Amino acid sequence: MKILLVTDLYPLENEQIAKALYYFVQEWQKQGHCVEVIRANFIINTLVRGRKIQKENIYYENGTKIYNLNFHTPFWFDVYKKLPKDFSLKNYDVIISHMPCGALMANKLLKKDSIKYICAVHFSDVVVLKSFLYLPFRNKLKNAYKKADKIAARSYVLQKKIEKIIPETQNKTFVAYSGIDTDYISDSIKATFNRDEVQISTVASLIKRKNIDVIINSIANVNHKIHLTIIGDGPERRRLEKLTQKLNISDKVTFLGSIAREKVISKLKESDIFILLSRNETFGISYLEAMATGNIVIAKKEDGIDGIIQNSQNGFLINSEVGELKSCIENIIKMSDEEIEIIRQKSLDTIKRLTIKESAENYINNIVNNDNI
């Protein structure tokens, strides 16, 4: 199958951009599909996100052809002028868009030629669809979803949200979850739980919506010897460091900053409990990595990983409240070794079904189901 992916969320030249779509593309190519990418960048949006504006050009990376296109306006004019003269949607079997910029760009491309169209839902799309700040784009984005043959929601939570916002999508949604590298998945459950000093970890960009301050405030009041390792960096780091000093728990918290993925996995293997209470999370690979390395995961209800995590079965789902998190941590510490082993085993069983290979196959199977592509 010949696939055209349209998005602004595809890494180019070692950019620090989430790699979920990159992993999908690489796996699809391994499965024999031909994939090309249009990176449709709305310049203002690129700058607001603090990303570098890459030169317009055709790039080739790991066997993938990438059209990097920059637009001063949000795709108002003839987008084909940015593409080679011989470019045509007729050369593809399906067009897949991710993120609002991808959907708006795909919508413009489809006005000239019509092929099968899959439109994915991230939390960014939900924000645009619900906020008056994005009123000029909202109707165009809604039209893209209505035009799509199928909707690829990036989590179970997002599937519910898009069906509520646009009821017309209810009969054409499926969940396109992310996957994890099999090399990161433990062969067996972790044998120990360090009760002498429980090791807690989190992995996140240090920005407000990650709610790292909730974790810090919670552990300050936990009635047990614990240590928190925070992996990641960002504009909130200095404020969070000051918070640990204010709470007099600097000796209980380690800030590692940004480290290589292999070192992240190594640190997660040393951890007993993983906590991330992000709001407006599309999915979150870090949760999968934590599950794969034997952590008991605490996540936020009605957000990214909800639906994969089943509360009290293979992890825990709570609200982003200090008191509730404190109680959850203390209840886990009080659990018997047998109870912890059961949760870890169910978590490992879950993660074995969430490999990159499985997630990529799930995505394609939902696209071609009942079709003749």
pLDDT in 10s for each residue of the chain, 373 residues: 999 999 999 998 777 777 889 999 999 999 999 999 999 999 888 888 778 888 999 999 888 999 999 998 888 888 999 999 999 999 999 999 999 999 999 999 998 888 999 999 998 899 888 888 777 788 888 888 998 999 999 999 999 999 999 998 989 999 999 998 888 887 777 778 888 899 999 999 899 989 999 999 999 999 899 999 999 999 999 999 999 999 999 999 999 999 988 899 999 999 999 999 988 777 888 899 999 999 999 999 888 788 899 999 999 999 888 999 999 999 999 999 999 999 999 999 999 999 999 999 999 999 987 554 4
User: Using the 8-state DSSP alphabet, how is residue 293 labeled?
Assistant: T
The pLDDT value recorded for residue 69 is 95
Cite the residue boundaries of each domain of the chain with CATH code 3.40.50.2000. Answer: 2-179+356-368, 182-351
Which secondary-structure segment (H or E) carries 187? none
What interhelical angle do 237-246 and 212-219 show, nearest 10? 10
Q: Report residue 145 as tokens.
A: 């979803």
The pLDDT value recorded for residue 370 is 56
Which secondary-structure segment (H or E) carries 151? strand 150-153
Number of Cβ within a 10 Å radius of residue 220: 18
Q: How far apart are CA 354 and CA 267, in angstroms?
A: 21
> Could you give the C-alpha distances from 299 to 98, 111, 162, 188, 329, in angstroms and in order?
25, 41, 21, 23, 12
Which secondary-structure segment (H or E) carries 11? none
pTM score, whole prediction: 0.87
Number of Cβ within a 10 Å radius of residue 286: 24
Burial of 358: CB neighbours in 10 Å, binned 0-12, 13-18, 19+? middle
The pLDDT value recorded for residue 200 is 97
Cβ atoms of residues 135 and 141 within 8 Å: no
Q: 137, 83, 92: which is closest to 118 by C-alpha?
A: 92
Q: How far apart are CA 369 and CA 246, in angstroms?
A: 56
How far, rounded to the nearest angstrom, does the alpha carbon of residue 103 sit from its chain's CA centroid?
18
Fold classification of 182-351 (topology level): Rossmann fold (3.40.50)
Q: How far apart are CA 274 and CA 335, in angstroms?
A: 16
Contacts of 141 (CB under 8 A, 6+ apart): 100, 103, 104, 125, 128, 129
Q: How far apart are CA 305 and CA 283, in angstroms?
A: 5
Sign, CA torsion 81/138/17/348: negative
Can you say whether residue 72 is alpha, beta or left, with left for phi > 0 and alpha for psi between -120 and 50 degrees? alpha
Work out whether strand 34-42 and strand 57-61 pair parallel, antiparallel, or are unpaired: unpaired
- The strand pairing partners of 199, in sequence order, are 227
Q: 17, 10, 69: which is closest to 42 by C-alpha?
A: 69
Fold classification of 2-179+356-368 (topology level): Rossmann fold (3.40.50)
